[in-house]
Structures are given as C-alpha cells and as structure tokens.
Amino acid sequence: MTTLRWGVLSTANIARGALIPAIHASSTSELRAVASRDEAKARAFADENDIPVAYGSYEELLADPDVDAIYNPLPNHLHVPWTIKAMEHGKHVLCEKPISLDTADLQPLLDAHEKMPDIVVMEAFMYRFHPRWIAAKRLVDDEAIGVVTDIDVGFSYFNRDPDNVRNQPEIGGGGLMDIGCYCISTARFLYGGEPWRGVASLEIDADFGTDKHAHGILDFGEGRRSHFFCSTQSAPFQEVRVIGSRGVMVIDWPFNAPTDVPTTIRLTVDGESREIEFAPTDQYRHQVDAFAKAVRAGGPAPTPLADAVANMTAIEAMFSSAVHNAWEPIA
C-alpha cells in the first residue's frame, strides 16, 4: 500500500473543517468517499469538498473495496458500533474522541480488536502529533522546568444550541466528555502515567441535563497532581500551564492550534523567560500521516486502544466522584 485511501463516515463539521483538508494535504493519504444517510446531502458534501464518491448509506461506504480506512466522527454513542462494523469490513479506523460512552461501551470494541489485531484503530487525540506538544513532552521528561508537580488545564466554549450533540446527554453530550477528555488526556500524556484517584464537581444545565461546568483534580502520586476546568457555557478559552520545581511552561490555545501562524511554548526557568516558536503546521495532517504510516507498517496504532481505556476510566471516575462528592479511586 503506497497511499491510504480514506472514507468519511458522515458529513460532520469536524470532518469538513479539519480531517478532510488534512487528508487532501497529506502525501500519505487520499480521500476516496463520504457517506451520509441522505444521498443528496452526501453528494453535495462530496462536491464541496472534492471527494470522488458519495454514498447514501454508511453500509455502502464500508463495502467499498477501494476504501482502506474510515474516519468516524459520528456522535459519541455511535463511535463503538460503527467502528466495529468498519473493522468487520477490513477497514482501519480513526475514531473521534471520546471513543466510547464509558468503559462498558468500550469493551465490545476491545473484544473486536482482540479478534482482529491487524486492524489499526485509534482514538483521534490530534494534539499529540503537533510538534509543539512533542517538544512539550520532551521538556517535561528532561526536567527543563524541574520536577513537575502540577498541570493546570482550562478548556471552554459557549454553546446553548439544543440541537447540538454536545447538549444531548443520552448520546454522550456534556463538557466532561467533549473537552474534559482533553484535560485528562493532557495530564496523562505529560506525566507519562495514570492517576490513582480523582475528585470532581459538576454543574448540570437544568434544560439539557448535561454538565456545563466541570472542575476536577487528578492525583498521580508522589506529589504530582493536575487541576482542570472545562465548560460548554463559558467564554472560549484554552490553556495548559505546567508548574515545576524550577519554572513554569505555558501553552496557549493548546488543542485548536492555528495552522497559519506560528505557535509557542512560553518558559520561565530560574526567573528567566523565553519563548520557543514553532512554524505554522496542521496537527491533523500529522495525525493522518502517523496513522497511515502505522497502517503501512502493519501496526500498532501510534496511540493504542489501551490509552483510550485509561482516559475513559478516568472520565468515569470524575462522574462518579461528582455523584458521591468524594475522591474516587481510578483503577
């Protein structure tokens, strides 16, 4: 396989704005087809986004022998079933986060992957493929700011559209699932380990029944913690602040990094401040290229499903903690 041929499962906005441009820009991949449950909608989307083939059902896309990999940006409750169906058709799958509704929902996918280990399946935490984040991880590992003892993550936006999937609890909506997953993933990535307990407080929207504000603490042991705040009804904001024994590292707009201007890491170490600048780039293209490389190599996925399990386990603990108003162990 020289070029990975992609199919997109649905006409979701994240596909239009992020993955499709990334695939078009990639030298490792090409876009073959898109599917919608409305054939006219699929055709219009395909014409708009320079996609050769449009299907009026997801099943038709999965049956296409000229498609090697599927991008699954469906609502959260459809991630696992349609990822499994794609695997059963021999397709590799890049699935949007969070990959499941909870760990019980995730188990059938793990079972399917055990039976089909040659299929590459990955949860799409694209930020990890940005050169800035790769550098941030290296700086933490090298103790450039000393021994890290706290990671503070903030992620918010404002959305009160009742038709938006993020405001529908029965299909996996709410801030903790949608963007809190990034807050948890970030701390796990930088610390290079798993929290052993967590505590959270959630404020539930009276109209939607979803969490609109979430505050949480993750305890990684040995004096290492992470604090986070995520919200679906606050001013748009993103920041990661890493505090060590000798300094502080700050990453502005860490998750939706712009593709057309340089990005930075701000460091203050032993009282001296400096910026590390990174050239404009598209983290989604880096993700697509890494996934395609893994498929060509026969696996494994750049980010294994074990990472998705660990992240979902921590998310579940946050929900449980909010219910019990106490620290919750994270298995």
Annotated active-site positions, please? 97
Q: Which stretches of the chain are DSSP H helices? A: 13-14, 20-25, 39-48, 58-63, 79-88, 103-115, 131-141, 175, 181-191, 283-297, 305-324
Q: Which residue has the tokens 């986060």?
A: 97
Sign of CA dihedral 143, 308, 158, 199: negative
Q: Which two tokens stand for residue 134?
A: 């790769």
In the structure, how many helices (H) and strands (E) does the chain have?
Answer: 11, 15
Q: Which stretches of 3-63 are DSSP H helices? A: 13-14, 20-25, 39-48, 58-63
Phi, psi dihedral angles at 315 (to 5 degrees) = -60, -45
Cα 154 from chain centroid (whole Å): 15
Contact 258, 18 (CB under 8 A): no
Cβ partners under 8 Å of residue 59, min gap 6: 85
Q: Which two tokens stand for residue 176?
A: 């903790």
Distance CA 223, CA 243 (A): 12
Cβ partners under 8 Å of residue 306, min gap 6: none
Burial 164-194 (b: 16+ CB within 10 A, else e): ebbbbeeebbbbbbbbbbbbbbbbbbbbeeb
What type of residue is 122? M
